[in-house]
Structure 1
Amino acid sequence: MDCEMCGKPAVAICKIEGVQMQVCGSCQRFGTILKQIVTQKPSQKTKVQAQVPKEEIVEQVRPDTSKILRTHREKLKLNQEQFAAKLQIRASTYNHYESGTTLPDIATARKLEHI
């Protein structure tokens, strides 16, 4: 709120020549003070609490994936090429998974779970 006479910050409401006005400290001498204006201090900022790090879920592929793939493929009575085609991966890649030389990545392992 600004003083209605000079524009400085108002500190009181005064009656000057029959009119109630919000005035500053230097202009309030021209009239009678009716009420002091209580200025609110800017609210304090809330303290930001440190966020507790969430536990990370670490996903790993089972080390016995090759045995599981082989038994499931044999149960379906398919050869490696047919099973790889069903999984929509290359036959050589599936051969590496089944022989145990490489482990599938998480996305491929999820695809393997559904079959």
Structure 2
Amino acid sequence: MECEICGKPVSETNPTRAKIEGSVMVVCKECAKLGTIQKAPPKPRFQQNKKGRKNTQPKRNYRNDEPTEELIENYNTTVRNAREAKNWSREDLGKKINERVSVINRIESGKMTPDPKLTKKLEKALNITLLENVNDVDLNQFINSSSGERTLGNIVKIKRK
């Protein structure tokens, strides 16, 4: 395991985690001085079952807060082209989805990304698809494909306190 800042080897059995500039990273002892060292996560507590025995597996709450759908890259041109294909003005589209014309202008110019609720309204009114499914990314494929030479320390200038 390597330090995420300088690339020096870090103990895999007892890595040092430090919060630096708001991000928690695995770092070496020298780079840990740049932030505050974080405590190790608490060990899982075991729940007792109905018979009073301890379960061998802790109760886990699996919850995925990450969105499974993402806005397409060229959403602004897609919205404009669909609106123009229906021969609607921006005012017409605004009336259909109960939004201001300025909102439509900002979306079509790419200055504003629509929230999920507005995206659904646009999809329904224009009969287009603006959201695409995001597949789970295997981080190991990125770790294995890198040459091992690029670290955060190679990219960022470190300010010493």
TM-score (norm 1): 0.55
> In the alignment, residue 87 of structure 1 is paired with which amino acid?
I
- 1:12-27 paired onto structure 2 within 5 Å: none
In 2: Cα distance, 1:65 partner to 1:50 partner: 41
Which of 19, 41, 44 is matched with 2:52 structurally? Answer: 44
- 1:58-73 paired onto structure 2 within 5 Å: 58=67, 59-73=69-83
The two structures, once aligned, show a CA RMSD in angstroms of 2.2
Contact 1:66 1:100 in 2 (8 A): yes
Corresponding pairs, count: 74
- Partner secondary structure for residue 95 of structure 1: helix
Which of 84, 91, 108 is matched with 2:101 structurally? Answer: 91
Structure 1: tracts of 5 or more residues without a match: 1-42
Shift of 1:69: 0.7
Shift of 1:52: 5.1
Contact 1:84 1:91 in 2 (8 A): yes
- Partner secondary structure for residue 92 of structure 1: helix
Structure 2: tracts of 5 or more residues without a match: 1-50, 126-161
Q: Which runs of 4+ in 1 moved over 4 A?
A: none
